Amino acid sequence: METKDNIDIVEFTRWITKNINLILNKKQTNLFRKMEMAFEDIKLFGKDTRLKGYYRLHQREFELNQLNWILEWKD
């Protein structure tokens, strides 16, 4: 599913959940992972759940990660 900004929402949600340490502090990140929480659960830590804001902040890292994955997959 892509938005008008050409963002793959599902893929970005998966990526930001895997890299939740970009949003939460170390203690919160450990709890998040231990409790096997999903992205929507970050509101329990007082964080915003709107993806577009996080996408704007971490767009470069996300795109580099996608590019690296593609390059590794082709080998």
Q: Which residues contact 12 (CB under 8 A, 6 or more apart)?
A: 51, 55, 62
Is residue 1 in some structural domain?
no
**Cβ(63)–Cβ(70) below 8 Å:** no
Is residue 61 in some structural domain?
yes
Q: Which pLDDT band, with edges at 50, 70 and 90, does 60 fall under? A: very high
Is residue 47 in some structural domain?
yes
Is residue 4 in some structural domain?
no
Q: How far apart are CA 16 and CA 22, in angstroms?
A: 8
Q: Which pLDDT band, with edges at 50, 70 and 90, does 1 fall under? A: very low
The boundaries of the domain holding residue 55 are 9-74
pTM listed for this prediction: 0.77
Is residue 65 in some structural domain?
yes
3-state helix, strand, coil in the chain (%, to 5): 70, 5, 25
- Give the number of domains in the chain: 1
Is residue 59 in some structural domain?
yes
Termini Cα distance of the chain: 27
